[in-house]
Structure 1
Amino acid sequence: MANTFLTVPFKDKDAAKGLGARWDAAQRQWFVPDGRELAPFAVWLPAGPVPVSTSRDVLSIVNEPAALAAPSQKGVSLSSLLGDVSRAVAQACKAGVWTLVEVVELRANGGHVYLEVSERDAHGAVLAKARAVIWQSTASAILPAFERATGAQLAPGIKLLVRVRPVFKAQYGFSLDIDAIDPAYTLGELEARKREIRARLQAEGVFAANKQLPPPWDFHAVLVVAPTGGAGLGDFQAEADRLQSHGICCFTYALSRFQGEGAPAEIRHALQAALGQGTGIGATPFDAVAIIRGGGAVNDLAWLNDYGLARLICDLPIPVMTGIGHERDSTLLDEVAHTRYDTPSKVIAGIEQRIHQRVGEVKANFAQVSNLAARASQAAKDQAGKFEMTVRLEALRHLAQGKQGASGHLAAIRMDAMQGVRKAAEQSRDALQAVKMAVASQLADARGDVPALWSQIAMGSAHALRTAAKENAALKDTVLERARQEASRARQSSGDALDTISDSARRLVCSAAADFQALLREITGQGPEKTLQRGFAIVRSQSGKPLTRVSQAMDGAAIEIEFQDGRVAATTKKTSLRKKPHGERNIQTSLRRAAAACPDTARSARAQH
């Protein structure tokens, strides 16, 4: 029996291949190999009577479900059974069905888009899950239109209203073929989420809290919240770094994910950590917070429509500036922030504009102050000139008046001085005469009192000398007795100390002698045989005399080396002198110290050695 050719559309080629169809490159057509059942390929058979098959068709399966439980005695192949199921699914769902789904996973391969879609309840539990596919021919038509209408891209987490056709394939199982997407539903679902959060914030009375804060008078420190490595962050930093390098404004960056599951929570944590507080409420060292992100799809930006993140911005005590996406993009953060800019570049431009404004005001104020100071300085100079002229005139006038008055006062002073000098001279003569008379009277009285006072002094001195002599004699006896007692005690203490020192010295000398004798016995016990047994050797001259110095071994002289188990003849070669071994130096040092401590013992030890 010849091969049976099929009419397979391009979108069904994978299904036909999965059922066992083969491709004929010459005729460029799919065919069923000879010997295979044609029933699974009924939908692609050319017009005409369908060959009889041992398997029942889909209508009999649908109308007679009991037949599946009671197959014929021979049975049917698995491919036939699954082919019947495939036809039953295709017969039941000829037209597409509009279905609400949420994208769980997505991957593209060769122009085809493979998805995993699901349905969740209000608590996030999965109610249904299925595989879906958008074939290349369909994807190239519906995806660009969807992106143009919504600004969103297909990605995990997005909710869609899609038209699907259930397909069951024998090799790949059940899947959904998507041939249309309703963009209005996606836009409505995103907007509904924003409306819900907006209404909740308005009901709590905090929706406009950040907008009502006074704008920063100037910018000295700004906290920037942005995604890591974003293009918008690069545009922002290009200008921000220039301001920071000149010390105009300092920028602190808190980096976080801006899309994907858990992104809003990460942004909150990064913002709170940068503010140095657990709640994001309270005094901060920043003048403002800038939340920036480059452009992206609507569903990428939709992750920022989060109640927790929006409430945190509403509660911040400092103004928040946003620069998210492009001009047409709008998120809930833009609505609750103090100031909204279209792009990150415009945020830094706004900061620069405010700084330029304050600099202009400072320059204008400085110019105004300079002008006022110049005018005040000129007025003060003019007033000072007038005062100087007035002072000069008044000084000249007072000087002239003073000269006239000084002449009259000088003549009066001279008259008064002459009279005072005459009176003083007369009073001085009278006082000198009175002093001379008083001195003569006192001198005469003193001469009469001197003999009596001299006798009294002589008697007192003699009595004091006798008293002192008696006291000195008694004190001398006391001092001598105390000196004798102290000398006796000193002799006793010296004798005791000398005995102690002598005992200690004798013990030390005996201990040193014993140590020395032990050391000497150790040294004398190290004879040549023991030395040879420890791995040493004795070097002798050709005449058999031991050599102990390098100088005794002439260069090229014949020598004999004695080991533990025999002797070996050798020839010398002179090298540099080496220092005396450390052990030998220590032994000689010990001998000298022992000799000094106990000469007799040392002499006997040297004799033994």
Structure 2
Amino acid sequence: MGDRTYLKTTFQEKEKVKALGARWDPEAGQWYVPTGLDLVPFQAWLPAGSRGQQLDLASTDTQSTSRELDTKVKGVPLSRLLGGVATAVAKAFSEGVWTTAEVVRASSSKGHYYLELSERNDAGELLAQARAVIWARHAQTLLAEFKRATGAELDAGIKVLIRARPVFKANFGFSLEVDGIDPSYTLGDLEAKKRDIRERLKRERLFDRNRTLPAPWDYTAVLVVAPERAAGLGDFAADAKHLETYGVCQFSYVYSRFQGDGAAAEIAKAMTMGLRSWSGASLPDAIVIIRGGGSVNDLAWLNDYDLARCVCECPVPVLTGIGHERDDTSIDEVAHRRYDTPSKVIAGLKEVVQARVREAKAFNESILGRARKAVSQTAALALRASQLVQTQARANIVTARATTESSFSTLRLDATESLHNARGTTRQSFDRIVSGARAQVTSARQAVPSTLAQLQTQAVANLRQARQQVETTAPYVLERAAGLTRQARSNAESTIADTFDRATRTVSKAAERSEALFREVTGQGPQKTLRRGFAIVRSEKGQALTTVADVQDGTRIEVNLRDGVVSAIANAVKPASTDEA
């Protein structure tokens, strides 16, 4: 008990002296410095009498060490040697110094935060490493401020600018006590890394390559890259399953780590192998990269040049849903489209699919509407055409009937007139023949008696003369007279028969001409009549107009010609004069 050096500490300082190696004496209710432990780090809590003694010991350490080397027992206790080192370090670094380092490992215990720090050159060679501690009295405030400013936990892979005081303890060795962190340095380092990747890709003209690919018109096949047990993968896969169930879109999954050394290269390899092994006839519509959220530290592994370039050179659009709403990673910047979470990615895919479904439905409805309208219009046109054809057919029938009746009436009148004229002509010819025959018969009859009288007279004279001359000439004269008489009768009868035959032939020829004319007229029809240069005039109701009396001024008429119909309005209607008729 007498070898113990007790400290005067407050309750708030207990953790600090404990970290320096002090021990608690429950009986005395005080903290003390064990024997052999250097007292220099505890000067602020030493009693007044012990401070000077300790200082003397410290100032004479080197002298004592030199003298003791000459004694038979060579060397000094390790605790004394290290105590001297601790004194020298405490004198050299009485206050913290701002230094930069990379966190290699981090852990916590009882509110304290323990770190392993290192420094490497550009080639990755280790230049320095050290242990550091943030005591609980500073840890809560420093870490909360750091996370608020950077959004990241103080964890492996983070580069930091810290204010640390070097401390050397004989029983714990060298460490750094951290009492300050500058978050702006970490933010600058993270952003600088992303900026370097961004500028390099822009110089290589790759930065906008994937973003400028045409957006998929629809999603039918998608390749998904994610950690195998990612928190957001379950929600994504559940919604994706609905699309697969209905045959809308097929999803193929490949898995990769998203944190730690080599994670970026593993993601790029998973993407490449997924495309190479794609079973479809063509590439997928898009690649989806998702994970279930994470801190800035977790996302920092995705700020990798090779991974970003792989996304830029991907032949299909890449969609990201890393699960961090505030900060973008390098692959978010170069992807075709960035979503905050995996759920929003699948929602975006469903939105596009639903839009296509709505468009297809609207298109089908438009086609059906147009088809219905076309059918309705066609039916209406067919009905109107049918009605028009029926009306026109009726009009044509009425017109044809009227025209036929008119033509037949005209033909009948013409035939009747022709027959009448033929009959008249025949009668006249027959009458003339009969009259002529009668006249000839009458003339013959008149001539016969006269001739007979003359003959008789001549005969008497001849007879007288014959009687006078020769009695034998009388029979000859009588015979000649009889022959002349017979010849006269024969001539008269022949003339009458010939006249009757000629009359009969004339009547037959007239009848044949009438019948031929009738057949010709009946065989012509309206169209042949029109083609011969005639026209048919009808009223608006389709009735044939054959007289001027049927037409008034201003009456609308239709003139049927050989090749069409001319509509007109009658003007200056006047009847034909008697001479013209």
TM-score normalized by the length of structure 1: 0.59
Counterparts of 1:413-424 in structure 2, within 5 Å, are: none
AA partner of residue 304 (structure 2): D
Shift of 1:388: 5.0
Tell me if structure 2 keeps the 8 A contact 1:168–1:175: yes
| d(CA) in 1 for partners of 2:139, 2:42 | 27
Letter of the 1:120 partner, please give it.
R
Mark the CA change 1:197 to 1:49 in structure 2 (over 3 Å): closer, same or farther: same
Please tell me whether the aligned partners of residues 283 and 317 of structure 1 are also in contact (alpha carbons under 8 angstroms). no
| Matched residue, 1:28 | 29
- Give the corresponding residue for 1:10: 14
Q: How far does residue 313 in structure 1 lie from its aligned partner after superposition? A: 1.1
SS at match of 1:304: coil
The DSSP-based 3-state class of the residue aligned with 2:99 is strand
Q: 1:320 to 1:22 in 2, by over 3 A?
A: closer
Quickly say closer, same or farther: Cα 1:32–1:163, change in 2 above 3 A. Answer: closer
- Structure 2 distance, partners of 1:370, 1:226, is 44
Local SS of the residue matching 1:289 = strand
Q: Which residue of 2 aligns with 1:237?
A: 237
The residue identity in structure 1 corresponding to 2:16 is: D
Q: For residue 380 of structure 2, what is the amino acid of its counterpart? A: D
Contact between 1:223 and 1:251, CA under 8 Å: does it hold in 2? yes
Q: Which runs of 5+ in 1 are unaligned?
A: 405-609
> Could you tell me how far apart the structure 2 residues matched to 1:88 and 1:68 are?
20
Query: Which AA in structure 2 matches 1:237?
Result: A
Deviation sequence 1:480-520 (CA, Å, 0-9, x none): xxxxxxxxxxxxxxxxxxxxxxxxxxxxxxxxxxxxxxxxx
1:246-265 equivalences under 5 Å are 246-265=246-265
CA distance in 2, matches of 1:290, 1:68: 75
Secondary structure of the residue aligned to 2:264 is: helix
Q: Which residue of 1 aligns with 2:165?
A: 165
Structure with greater Cα Rg: 2
Question: What are the within-5 Å matches in structure 2 for residues 70-469 of structure 1?
Answer: 70=69, 76-276=76-276, 284-386=282-384, 388=386
Distance 1:149 1:362 in 2: 49
SS of the equivalent of 2:377 reads helix
The one-letter code matched in structure 1 to 2:92 is A
User: How many matched pairs?
Assistant: 392
Deviation for aligned residue 1:188: 0.3
| Residues 142/304 of structure 1: CA separation in 2 closer, same or farther (3 Å cut) | same
TM-score of the superposed pair, with normalisation by structure 2: 0.62
Cα offsets for 1:532-555 (capped at 9, x unmatched): xxxxxxxxxxxxxxxxxxxxxxxx
- Alpha carbons of structure 1 residues 391 and 192: separation in structure 2 relative to 1, 3 Å: same
Contact 1:102/1:157 (<8 A) preserved: yes
Distance of 1:76 and 1:317 partners within structure 2? 72
Distance 1:153 1:38 in 2: 36
Structure-2 separation of matches of 1:87 and 1:143: 30
| Partners of 1:159 and 1:215 in 2: CA distance | 38
Aligned in 2, Cα 1:348/1:382: closer, same or farther, shift over 3 Å? same
- Change beyond 3 A, Cα 1:247–1:137: same
Partner deviation per Cα, 1:313-364 (whole Å, 9 max, x = no partner): 1111211111222321211111111111222221111111111111111111
Q: CA RMSD in A?
A: 3.1
Amino acid at match of 1:369: I
Please give the alpha-carbon distance, in whole angstroms, between the structure 1 residues aligned to 2:291 and 2:297: 14
Decide whether the 8 Å contact of 2:308 with 2:330 is kept in 1. yes
Contact 1:257–1:267 under 8 Å retained in 2: yes
Q: Is the CA contact 2:105–2:115 (under 8 Å) kept in the aligned structure 1? A: yes
| Alignment correspondent of 1:512 | none
Which one-letter code corresponds to 2:308 in the other structure?
A
In structure 2, relative to structure 1, the CA distance for the partners of 1:69 and 1:154 (3 Å cut) is farther
SS of the equivalent of 2:48 reads coil
Tell me how far apart the structure 2 counterparts of residues 68 and 354 of structure 1 sit (CA, whole Å): 88
1:123, distance to aligned residue in structure 2 (A): 0.6
The answer to whether the 8 Å contact 1:61/1:68 transfers is no
- Assess if the C-alpha contact under 8 Å between 2:228 and 2:255 holds in 1: yes
CA contact (8 A) 1:15 1:169 kept: no
Contact 1:57 1:84 (C-alpha < 8 Å) held by counterparts: no
Deviation of the 1:22 alpha carbon: 3.7
Task: State the identity %.
Answer: 50
State the distance in 2 between where 1:58 and 1:389 align: 128
Q: CA deviation at 1:251?
A: 1.4
Separation of aligned partners in 2, 1:161 and 1:68: 44
CA separation of 1:60 and 1:112: change in aligned 2, threshold 3 A: same
Contact 2:113 2:133 (8 Å CA) reproduced? yes
Give distance in 2, aligned partners of 1:204 and 1:292.
26
Aligned letter for 1:330? D
**Paired letter, 1:222:** V
Q: 1:283 to 1:135 in 2, by over 3 A?
A: farther
SS of the residue corresponding to residue 206 of structure 1 reads: coil
Indicate conservation of the 8 Å contact 1:226/1:254, yes or no.
yes
Tell me the amino acid that sits aligned with residue 212 of structure 1: T
Displacement after TM superposition at 1:204 (Å): 0.5
1:387 positional shift? 5.2
**Change in 2 beyond 3 A, CA 1:368/1:15:** closer
Stretches of structure 2 lacking an aligned partner (at least 5 in a row) = 405-581
Counterpart CA distance in 1 for 2:148 and 2:325 is 16
Per chain length, whose mean CA-contact separation is higher, i.e. which structure has more relative contact order (CA < 8 Å, sep 6+)?
2
Return the alpha-carbon distance in structure 2 between the equivalents of residues 283 and 123 of structure 1: 44
Whether contact under 8 Å (2:156, 2:297) holds in the other structure is no
Instruction: Tell whether the 8 Å contact from 2:41 to 2:90 is kept in structure 1 after alignment.
Output: no
Classify 1:277/1:315 alpha carbon distance in 2 versus 1 (closer, same or farther; 3 Å).
farther
Q: Separation in 1 of the partners of 2:197 and 2:372?
A: 60
- CA-CA distance at 1:28 after TM superposition: 2.6
Tell me the SS of whatever aligns to 1:236: helix
What is the alpha-carbon distance in structure 2 between the residues aligned to residue 173 and residue 82 of structure 1? 8
Q: Distance in 2 between matches of 1:297 and 1:105?
A: 16
Write out per-residue CA displacement over residues 214-260 of structure 1, whole angstroms, 9 at most, x where no aligned residue. Answer: 11001111111122222222222232122222211111112211111
CA 36–90 in structure 1, closer or farther in 2 if over 3 Å, else same: closer
